[in-house]
Amino acid sequence: MELSREQSNYIKGLGILLIMIHNFVDILLKITCNEMFYSQKATDAFLANLFTTDVLWYLLSFAGWIGVPLFFFISGYGLTKKYYNTGTLKNSTYIKNHLVKLWKLMIPIFLLYLCIYHTNIQSAVAHLSFTINILSYGKNSFHMDPGIYWFFGAILQFYLLFLLLRKLNTRWLLVLCVAFLLVQYCIVYFANYHQSNWLRHNFVGWSVPFLLGMIAARSHFNPSKPTTRFLCALSIIAVGACLVIRWLAPFTEVATIVFFVTLSKLTTMKWACFLGIISPSIFALHPLIRMLIYGLCFKPEYVLVLTIVYAIVVIVLSWAHHKALSNPNLLKLNRTN
């Protein structure tokens, strides 16, 4: 399957928008979602507000986390497109480049956190050493402060896992994908909250979208326009069903990826592509800006105004942050192979 740069950025742009808004409103409105831990109480609360004036906020808070698997999918897709046909890959250079890319995003942000909020130094060290994902379990959950940057540790795990998987044929990747779907069933049905949270912070919880990205990059499946429209409509129905029906919950990520990929084949919007381009900066900055806005005004009754202000500030500062990181004279550390 071929995704153009514009289509990839479009998928990332919609994904980061969902994540950015979800992470803001779920704490503000105290709405629980079913991210890798199915709760009938949370589902009933969402369904009860489905036909009220608050439906948009409940939808973003309950379902906004589905933006996360899109990034693991695009990572698997991009890595495969870049390295699949590479005869020799120097592992040390590959690892160094990806470490530097992540540290360039993380170090300035954690310095700001330490200066403004006096974030636990243990938490900062654990994040920057990418050990936070392993440490965060049960009573050690305080290590996650400020919370959202577990993603960097998880994506590094996938960068390393790719080195082991890149030479497997597509059939074996499909076998692994099915195996991890079964693991998702075990998580949903048998894991307690702390166990599912730990799995969510590590590669185990997100292997399905990453493997689907690798498979899609090798696939030559390019459906016709009518087929694409049908798959897009069917997948959005499937996403809704997976979010609210327990036995379908493990397929949420699969249905989400099918929907957004087929949507990108039908249309791309420039504003979403722009968000996709600056998505690393948005991800790095939005938790800090969220905390600053919460500090100024933490009132659910102002959710619309606060969300608009938050979104504008995040996008403007992220654009400036992206331009700074794109400066070739800034931190000449990251070199391509």
**Contact (CB, 8 A) for 143 and 123:** yes
Expressed in angstroms, the distance from the first to the final Cα of the chain is 25
CA distances, 303 to each of 30, 79, 120, 168, 319 (Å): 12, 38, 29, 48, 24
Least confident of 51-55, 190-194, 234-238, 328-332: 328-332
How far apart are the C-alpha atoms of 61 and 307, rounded to whole Å? 12
State yes or no: pLDDT of 335 exceeds 80.
no
Q: Which structure tokens are listed for 310?
A: 């938050």
Q: Which two tokens stand for residue 300?
A: 């659910």
- On the question of pLDDT at 25 being above 60, the answer is yes
Q: What's the one-letter identity of residue 39?
A: S
Mean pLDDT of the chain: 89
Lowest mean pLDDT among 6-10, 32-36, 129-133, 286-290: 32-36
Task: Answer yes or no: are the C-beta atoms of 157 and 202 closer than 8 Å.
Answer: yes
**pLDDT surpasses 60 at 212:** yes
Is the pLDDT assigned to residue 72 strictly greater than 90? yes
Task: Judge whether residue 71 has pLDDT over 80.
Answer: yes
SS3 (DSSP) at 39: coil
Domain segments of the chain: what residues? 5-326
Q: Is the pLDDT of residue 256 over 60?
A: yes
CA distances from 19 to 141, 178, 266 (A): 21, 26, 23
Whether 337 shows a pLDDT value over 50: the answer reads no
Q: What pLDDT sits at residue 90?
A: 87
Residue 120 has pLDDT above 80, yes or no: no
In this prediction the pTM is: 0.92
Share of the chain above pLDDT 90, in %: 60
